A and B are shown apart, each in its own frame.
Chain A
Amino acid sequence: MSMVKRSAIVDKLRRKRMLELLAEGKRIDGRGPLDYRKLEVEIGAIEKAEGSALVTLGNTKVVAGVKVKVEEPFPDTPDKGILIVNAEVLPVASAYAEPGPPDENAIELSRVTDRGVRASGMVDLSKLVIVEGKWVYSIFVDVSVLNTDGNLFDATSYAVVSALLNAKIPKYVFEDGEVKETGEVMPLPISNVPISVTMASIEDKLVVDPNGEEEGVMDARLTLVVDEEGRLCAGQKGGSGSLRPEKLMEAVEIAINKSKEIRKVIEEAVKVGKA
């Protein structure tokens, strides 16, 4: 991501140093190849949102909020509610993030996050219908990136997932020919929890949760999303390099294992948030 200032010479030296360290199974910030940075999930940070989560992953910080509207369904899915995930990198996030419409990096971030949530069937959209073909719940999850230091993909996904798990949305009914708010709230119909695991490939060596410096010199980024049953539900390679074919299956193995660890952290945070 173009969130860090790049210098060809500094990158070259940094890459050399990283490769030396990786040969010994170490990373520049002292982690092992398969260690995440400290992950903190604060649930319900934004009271006015229907659900929210502030995720801190090392120095990367993102906040997600859920808002709800009642709308007409899309014509091709009259029997389903609407779910929209959108991420933006705010100008506060780094000296090199600029205000304006989301660039291709932010669009990719939104779409890959959305893909994991959607493909896993996390929110059962068929249960978000008030009147079929007429009125459905429209769930917006907006993510604001507040500080960037690598791995926005995982941080954004964890924030979205946690905010959806935490959300209590106003309940509507259809009475006397109109949609009315009941004054009650209800949790979202959750049927699965996808966990994203992102890796950087540097000369075909995989490291999880790359920080900003590592992303600056990586050949490729690989995101894999794993559902509750340990199945794969979304994936994306990014970056302008390539990787050996067998590396992808190695990444799948890593993602399935690491997702269990992350899942515990998120479940715990949601539980604390509810209590």
Chain B
Amino acid sequence: MLIDEKGIRTDGRKWNELRPIKMEVGVLKNADGSCYIEFGKNKIMVAVYGPKEVHPRHMALSDRCLLRCRYHMSPFSTTTRKNPAPSRREIEISKVLREALEPSLILEDYPRTAIDVFVEILQSDGGSRCAGITAASVALADAGINMRDLVSAVAVGKVDGKIVLDLNDVEDKEGEADMPVAIMPNLNRVTLFQFEGILTKEEFEKAYELALKSVKKIYKIQREALYEKYFEGEVKVE
């Protein structure tokens, strides 16, 4: 039983409620851009280095910047110790994360250089890739990379036969479906979509619409975090 008879989830949320989210921009002094995010029990640090010279040299692209992403879980981030070597899951997530961020960046503006995005999961909960993308996009803005839009991400899924927003750890593991989605909110374009589980077409549509709607709330938090650092939060975010 992950949802009780009153429709309340294990952590006290309703079906369409997000977990508490906290973001802080510019927390790492050495990085060109950085962002720390707490998303439910997720604690994630993102650092952006670049644009910078490419090593090894032969990897440089003559017409645009080389974007590299690494999603990595700290050994202590999970209940049982996680082997620090990158797993196949982490390699796949690193790839989809890069592909989720790339559409927002104008990489052609920085030929022959590289941008590295490091997403370090210090403590993991459900939805760490979405929280990671959300923080990484803000860290890229902090690094002052030319970008057309921010990228905001959230997962939806099915738990105890019901479509729910923002799956936590248990819901992620024991739920019937999980669908992480990332969009560029102003341009209204999908940059990440993954799905696992069983959904009818109608359920799929309902879940997807929920993701598209809810991601705007994440976007608002991203803007507030950037305003807080750059404009001392003194200007109201519309």
To the question of whether A and B form a pair in one complex, the answer is yes
Interface residues of A (CB under 8 A from B): 8, 104-105, 107-108, 110-111, 115, 118-121, 222, 224, 227, 230-245, 247-249, 252-253, 256
- Chain B residue with Cβ nearest A119: B196
Interface size on B, residues (CB 8 A): 34
CA of A110 to CA of B192, assembled, Å: 19
Which single member of A119, A242, A244, A247 contacts B198 (CB below 8 Å)?
A119
With A231-B200, A243-B190 known, 16 other A-B pairs at CB within 8 A are A104-B91, A104-B94, A104-B95, A108-B96, A110-B88, A119-B198, A230-B201, A233-B196, A236-B96, A237-B190, A240-B103, A242-B189, A245-B183, A245-B189, A247-B190, A252-B205
- How far does the Cβ of A30 sit from chain B's closest Cβ, in whole Å? 30
- How far does the Cβ of A112 sit from chain B's closest Cβ, in whole Å? 8
By a CB distance below 8 angstroms, the chain B residues around A236 are 96, 193-195
Query: Contact: B208 with A111, CB < 8 Å?
Result: no
CA of A104 to CA of B183, assembled, Å: 23
- Given A233-B198, A234-B196 in contact, is the A111-B191 Cβ separation under 8 Å? no
- How far does the Cβ of A81 sit from chain B's closest Cβ, in whole Å? 19
Tell yes or no: B156 within 8 A of A by CB.
Answer: no
Between-chain CB contacts (< 8 Å), 6 pairs: A104-B95, A111-B88, A237-B190, A237-B193, A249-B205, A253-B201
Tell yes or no: B30 within 8 A of A by CB.
Answer: no
- How far does the Cβ of B237 sit from chain A's closest Cβ, in whole Å? 24
Which single member of B96, B190, B196 contacts A248 (CB below 8 Å)?
B190
Interface residues of chain A: helix, strand, loop or mixed (majority): mixed
Which single member of B103, B193, B198, B201 contacts A120 (CB below 8 Å)?
B198
CA of A253 to CA of B205, assembled, Å: 11
Which single member of B63, B188, B208, B212 contacts A8 (CB below 8 Å)?
B63
Q: Chain B 178-191 against A: per-residue CB contact (8 Å), 1 yes, 0 no? A: 01000110011111
- Given A240-B103, A242-B190 in contact, is the A232-B96 Cβ separation under 8 Å? no
Which single member of B63, B190, B198 contacts A232 (CB below 8 Å)?
B198
Query: Contact: B190 with A240, CB < 8 Å?
Result: no
- Chain B residue with Cβ nearest A110: B88
CA of A240 to CA of B187, assembled, Å: 16
- How far does the Cβ of A240 sit from chain B's closest Cβ, in whole Å? 4
- Chain B residue with Cβ nearest A247: B190
Which single member of A110, A230, A234, A242 contacts B103 (CB below 8 Å)?
A242
Query: Contact: B208 with A234, CB < 8 Å?
Result: no
By a CB distance below 8 angstroms, the chain B residues around A231 are 198-201
Which single member of A107, A224, A227 contacts B91 (CB below 8 Å)?
A107
Which single member of B92, B179, B196, B200 contacts A104 (CB below 8 Å)?
B92
Interface residues of B (CB under 8 A from A): 63, 88-89, 91-92, 94-96, 98-99, 102-103, 179, 183-184, 187-201, 204-205, 208, 212
- Chain A residue with Cβ nearest B90: A107
- Chain A residue with Cβ nearest B105: A240
By a CB distance below 8 angstroms, the chain A residues around B184 are 242
Query: Contact: B198 with A227, CB < 8 Å?
Result: yes
- Chain B residue with Cβ nearest A224: B195
- Chain B residue with Cβ nearest A111: B92
Query: Contact: A242 with B191, CB < 8 Å?
Result: yes
By a CB distance below 8 angstroms, the chain B residues around A108 are 92, 95-96
By a CB distance below 8 angstroms, the chain B residues around A248 are 190, 193, 208
- How far does the Cβ of B10 sit from chain A's closest Cβ, in whole Å? 19
CA of A111 to CA of B93, assembled, Å: 11
CA of A210 to CA of B189, assembled, Å: 21
By a CB distance below 8 angstroms, the chain A residues around B188 are 244-245
- How far does the Cβ of B211 sit from chain A's closest Cβ, in whole Å? 9
By a CB distance below 8 angstroms, the chain A residues around B92 are 104, 107-108, 111
- How far does the Cβ of B102 sit from chain A's closest Cβ, in whole Å? 4
By a CB distance below 8 angstroms, the chain A residues around B196 are 115, 118-119, 233-235
Closest 6 CB pairs of A and B: A235-B195, A242-B189, A242-B103, A237-B193, A240-B102, A104-B95
Which single member of A224, A237, A240, A252 contacts B98 (CB below 8 Å)?
A240
Query: Contact: A244 with B189, CB < 8 Å?
Result: yes
Query: Contact: B194 with A237, CB < 8 Å?
Result: yes
Which single member of B98, B194, B200, B212 contacts A235 (CB below 8 Å)?
B194
CA of A8 to CA of B183, assembled, Å: 27
CA of A241 to CA of B179, assembled, Å: 19
